[in-house]
Structure 1
Amino acid sequence: MSRSKYRISRRTVLRSAGVSLALPWMEMMLPTPARAGVRTGAGGAPQRAVFIYTPNGVNQKHWHPEKSGHDYELPSTLEPLKALREDLLLFSGLDRTMRGGTGVHAQAGCCWLTSSPPSEALDNGFPTNVSLDQLIARQVGRDSLFPSIELSCNDRKDIRETRYFESISWIGPGYAANVEKDPRQVFERLFGNPAGDPSHKSILDVVSQDARRLRTKLGRADRFKLDEYLDSVRSIENRIQAAEKFKERDLEIPIERPKSAPERRGEYIRLMGDMIVLAFQLDLTRVATLVIDPERWDTPRMYHGVFDKPQNHHVLTHTKGDEAKEKLAKIDRFHVEQYAYIVERMKQIPEGDGTLLDNSAVVMGSGMGDGRVHSYRDLPVVVAGKLGGHLKTGFHHQFKGYEPIANLWLSLLQASGVEAPRFADSTGVVKEIMA
C-alpha cells in the first residue's frame, strides 16, 4: 500500500489484553503542523536531548585534544569516539565559578545544569534552579507522554550522600526530579507491565497479533523499522530477565550484588542507555538525564574488563602518583566507551532525512575539572549530534581565558527553540557551533 493511500497517526500503538506498546516514528505517520515555537529536525522529526553525568572530574592530560578546529587528534581517553568524530563537538576551557559555603562535590553535581548564577542562592546556600534539561523539556517535550525521564546507574543501597551529590535535574530551587535506578521499573514505566507478570510475560508476545496486522499495511522501509524496533524491545526484555536470573545465583563476590540491575557495570549503563534511545525512538520522551554515579561516592565499583578488583573512583582522584592517574584515565575511557555505545546506537536509527542522532544532542560531562584539587576550570564536556540541524559538529573548540559553561548551555537552549537571552552566568552563545 502506498504512502499516499495509507497513513497512521504518530500516536498509534500496538494493543492487546490491556497492554499498549508505542510505535517508533515512521514515514507513514500523519504529519502534523509544527506547534508555534517548537522546532523539528530532519523530515519533521522532533528534537531530543540527553545529558550524561560522570562524577569527580577526569584525568585532564588524557582528555583534551592539543589542537583546535577540525584537524585535531583524539587523546587516548576519547579514542572510543573515533568513528563519530564528524558528529562531535569537543570543548576545552569551559569553566564555572563555585559559590562558597556549600560542598565542592555536591555543588559540582547539583549545579552542573542549573540556571542560577553562582551569586544566586535559592536553595539553602546552593544556586540550584530549573535545570537545562527541564527548560528544554518545557519547549520540545510538550507533546510527548513523558516530558523528561531521569535515570541513574547508582543501584547501591548504602546511600550516604544527599540529593545534592546525585541530582542533576531540578524542577525548581530545592526540588530535584525523581530518579529511576531499577531497569525493570524503567522498562515497565515506559512500556507497561504485561498481564501483571513481569517475570514471564513479554510485551511483544501480548501484542504480537496486532503487530502482524499493522505490518501488512506498511511500506518496505517502515516494515524494516518496525522489525528493528521490536527486536530492540525483545533484546532489552531478555537482558533484564538475564540480569534478574543472575542475581538469584548463590555466588561469592567481593561487592554487594545489585538487586535489579546487570552485574557487569558496562552492561548496566548500556541497558539504561538503550531504554533512553528506545524512548526517543518512540517519542515517549524527548529529554533525558543519566547519572553514571554520584559525586564523592566512596563505595568501590567493579569496572569489568578494566580492573580485576573494585576501585574507589573518588579516592583515586586524591591519590598522588602515576598509578592512580593511569587508573583514573582507564575509568574515564570506560565511561567514554559507554557514551560512544549510546551515540552509535542513535546514529544507526534512520529518521526522516537523517538519523535519530542528527535530531539530537547527546551531552556527556562532569561538573568538576580536576578532582584532585576540586577545580571547576576546564570542565570536560562532549556533545554529539546536530540537534535537528541547529548545531555544527566535527571540531574541537578551545576557549581562552575564563569561559562559563553556561554559554554552551545557552547555545543548546536557543538551538532547541527556547527564546532565552541568558542562562545562569552566561555572557553569550558559542557562535561557532550555531548553525
Structure 2
Amino acid sequence: MMHRRHFLRSAGVTLGLPFFESLGRAAAAPAPPSRFAFIYTPNGYCQSALLPRTLPAGLGPLPSTPTLGPLAQVKDHVTLITGLDRQFVPGTGVHAQCGSCWLSSSPPQESLDGGFPTNTTLDHILARQVGQETVLPSLELSTNDFADNKETKYYECISWYGPGYAANAEKNPRAVFQRLFGRGQGGPARSILDAVLDSARSLQKRLGGDDRAKLAEYLESVRATEQRIQRAEAAARRLRKPPLPEPAGIPEKRGDYLRLMADLFVHAFQNDLTRVATLMIDPERWDSPRMYHDLFDKPQNHHVLTHTSGTEAREKLVQIDRFHMEFYAHVVQRLSQSGLLESTTLVMGSGISDGDKHDYTDLQVLIAGGGWRRGHLHYEGRRPLANLWLTLAQSTGLPLERFADSTATLGELAG
C-alpha cells in the first residue's frame, strides 16, 4: 500500500495534503474469488431429532437438537434453512429424482430426459461464471465405494452437464489427487491452435455460412482447451510440491474416506485449481449395507432404516445423521483454518426431508461461509428450493432472473 507520507516524501513535499482516493483504490487488495461446494446426503433425515417441534418463522438462532449437536462448535459460521420445497414429477422413481434433480435447473414441468426433469445443474452454471480462469471448471466427487451397480446414474449423480448427461463423479482419492496435482510430461512445442489453423483457413473458404460458424466454434473450443492446459502447466510450476501426500486409494474407515475427499477439494480451492465442487456422500436408495466405523459393529442399510419403525432404527438413523453433521462441521473448520470460509459457500442437504414418507416438502439445507446471515431461517409459507439456488447464482453477478421454478431470491439470507 502506498502510504500518504511515503507519497509526500517521494515528491519532496512537507505540507499536509488531502487523502487521494485513487491511491487508496490502487492499493486495495482484490476481493477473493467466490467458491462453492455442495455436499449431498441421501434418504433425508430423521425429522424428530433434527428439528424442534415448533419452528418460528423468520431468522432465529440455530436450534439445539440431537442431530444438530455437532454443529455447536461452528454455529457462528452456519445457517440452517427450512421450509423449502421441490416438486416431484410423477412417472419416475421417487428416490431417483432426489439427487439427480437436487441442483437441477429444469422447471418441474420440463421432462427433457425421458421422464426426468434433469438439466444443467447449478454447479456447472456457477462454474461458467467463477471457474473460467481455473485449471478445472468444476470438480465432481463421490464417496460411493459400493462395488455393485444396483441402481442407475439417477441415484448416484447430483451433477449434470445437461438433460441426460451426468457428470460422473470420481470416487478414488488417488485418482483425484493425480488429476489435481499430477505432473505432466510437458506440452507440445507448438500451440494446438496453430497446428490446425492452416488447414482451417483453407477449409473455411469452401464452407457455407453455417459450417463456418461451426468451425469458428470448434476453434474457440480448441483455444479454451489449450488455455486450460497452459493453466495446468503454470499451476504445476507454481505448486512444485503437492500440498499433501498422494493417497494409496480408498481409506478403510468411512470417516477417513469422507475427510480425505473433502481435504482434496479444500486444497484444490486453496491452490485455485477449481472454484466449484460437488461431493455425493452416498447414492439414493442403494440397498447395500454400509459400514459406519466407530458407530456400529456391523454394516447398516441406511435406506431400509428410514422405513423401519421402532426405537432401535430411529437411534441408528440419528447416529448416522450426526455422523454426517460431524463431517460437515469438519469441512467448515478446514475452510476456516485455510482462510477460505468467507469466500466459500459450503452447502449440505438432501433431496427429500423424510426418508420414510418420501417427502419433497420442507427440505432442510445447511449453508456455511460465503458471508450469508447466520442462524436458522425458516419459511412457514414455504418457498421453492430453486429460490435458494437463484440467490447463490445472483451472488456471483450472474444476470439470472429465474432458476427452474424459482419465484424470487431469499433476501433474508443476504448478510
* Secondary structure of residue in 1 paired with 2:108: coil
Q: 1:340 aligns with which of 308, 329, 332?
A: 329
Aligned mates of 1:93, 1:321 — CA distance in 2: 27
* Amino acid across the alignment from 1:128: T
Question: 1:104 and 2:94 equivalent?
Answer: yes
Does the CA-based 8 Å contact 2:373-2:414 persist in structure 1? no
Q: 2:45 aligns with which of 45, 58, 68?
A: 58
Show the 5 A alignment for 1:153-164.
153-164=143-154
Aligned to 1:393: 373
Per-residue CA deviations over 1:408-433 (Å, capped at 9, x if unaligned) read 11111111221111111111000011
Aligned mates of 1:159, 1:173 — CA distance in 2: 22
Q: 2:292 aligns with which of 300, 303, 317?
A: 303
Show the 5 A alignment for 1:244-323.
260-323=249-312
Aligned mates of 2:184, 2:360 — CA distance in 1: 47
Aligned to 2:351: 367
Per-residue CA deviations over 1:240-273 (Å, capped at 9, x if unaligned) read 23xxxxxxxxxxxxxxxxxx30000000000000
* Secondary structure of residue in 1 paired with 2:33: coil
Aligned to 2:388: 408
Aligned to 1:22: none
Aligned to 1:255: none
Aligned to 1:422: 402
Per-residue CA deviations over 1:303-353 (Å, capped at 9, x if unaligned) read 11111111000000111112111111110110111111111100001xxxx
C-alpha spacing 1:3/1:315, structure 2 compared with 1 (3 Å): farther
Unaligned residue ranges in structure 2 (runs of 5+): 4-24, 186-235
Aligned mates of 1:122, 1:42 — CA distance in 2: 45
TM-score where L is the length of structure 1: 0.74
* Amino acid across the alignment from 2:390: L
Per-residue CA deviations over 1:205-225 (Å, capped at 9, x if unaligned) read xxxxx99xx9xxxxxxxxxxx
Aligned to 2:368: 384
Aligned to 1:120: 110
Per-residue CA deviations over 1:79-129 (Å, capped at 9, x if unaligned) read 111121121111111111100001000001100000011111000010011
Aligned mates of 1:329, 1:372 — CA distance in 2: 14
Show the 5 A alignment for 1:128-139.
128-139=118-129
C-alpha spacing 1:281/1:80, structure 2 compared with 1 (3 Å): same
Per-residue CA deviations over 1:7-47 (Å, capped at 9, x if unaligned) read xxxxxxxxxxxxxxxxxxxxxxxxxx9xxxxxxx9842111
**RMSD, aligned CA:** 2.5
Unaligned residue ranges in structure 1 (runs of 5+): 5-32, 34-40, 196-209, 215-225, 242-259, 350-354
Q: If each structure's helix is expressed as a fraction of its own residues, which one has the higher value?
A: 2
Aligned to 2:11: none
Does the CA-based 8 Å contact 1:343-1:357 persist in structure 2? yes
Show the 5 A alignment for 1:155-234.
155-193=145-183, 233-234=243-244
Percentage of pairs with the same residue: 54
C-alpha spacing 1:178/1:306, structure 2 compared with 1 (3 Å): same
Does the CA-based 8 Å contact 2:62-2:75 persist in structure 1? no
Aligned mates of 1:334, 1:362 — CA distance in 2: 17
How far residue 301 of structure 1 moved from its aligned partner, in angstroms, is: 0.6
Aligned mates of 1:393, 1:347 — CA distance in 2: 16
* Amino acid across the alignment from 1:267: D
Aligned mates of 2:31, 2:182 — CA distance in 1: 28
C-alpha spacing 1:312/1:42, structure 2 compared with 1 (3 Å): farther
Aligned to 2:229: none
* Secondary structure of residue in 2 paired with 1:342: helix
* Amino acid across the alignment from 1:114: S
Does the CA-based 8 Å contact 1:385-1:393 persist in structure 2? no
Per-residue CA deviations over 1:179-238 (Å, capped at 9, x if unaligned) read 10111100000000589xxxxxxxxxxxxxx99xx9xxxxxxxxxxx9xx97x833x43x
Aligned to 1:46: 33
